[in-house]
Amino acid sequence: PLPSPPRCPRPSEAIFGILRDLGGPGGRSVPLPHALQVLGARGFTPAQVGAALDEYEGLNVLQVNPARTQITFV
């Protein structure tokens, strides 16, 4: 039998990894419109991105400002 492919991360894990990459080394924040553009180009839906942001905000890993224009890593 063929070996099973490596487990795909949950969408929110993949999204968080991409956001971290966008922040760059020591990056503290990412403009949300830019993040949505990049994530959309990689096939993530706005709903998946929103769910990931909510999840990681709840974990106090990142924060989205009230105007929803900036993601800041905590």
pLDDT in tens, 2-46: 555 556 678 999 999 999 999 988 889 999 999 999 999 999 999
Task: Say if residues 49 and 13 touch (Cβ distance below 8 Å).
Answer: no
pLDDT in tens, 29-38: 999 999 999 9
**Domain residue ranges of the chain, discontinuous segments joined by +:** 11-73
Question: Structurally, what CATH architecture does the domain formed by 11-73 represent?
Answer: Orthogonal Bundle (1.10)
Task: Say if residues 30 and 23 touch (Cβ distance below 8 Å).
Answer: yes
Nearest to 68 by CA among 44, 43, 36: 36
pLDDT tops 70 at residue 1 = no
Q: How far apart, in Å, are the Cα atoms of 12 and each of 2, 3, 16, 33, 73?
A: 28, 26, 6, 17, 15
Using only the alpha carbons of the chain, give its radius of gyration: 13
- Rounded mean pLDDT, 41-67: 96
Tell me what pLDDT residue 5 has.
53
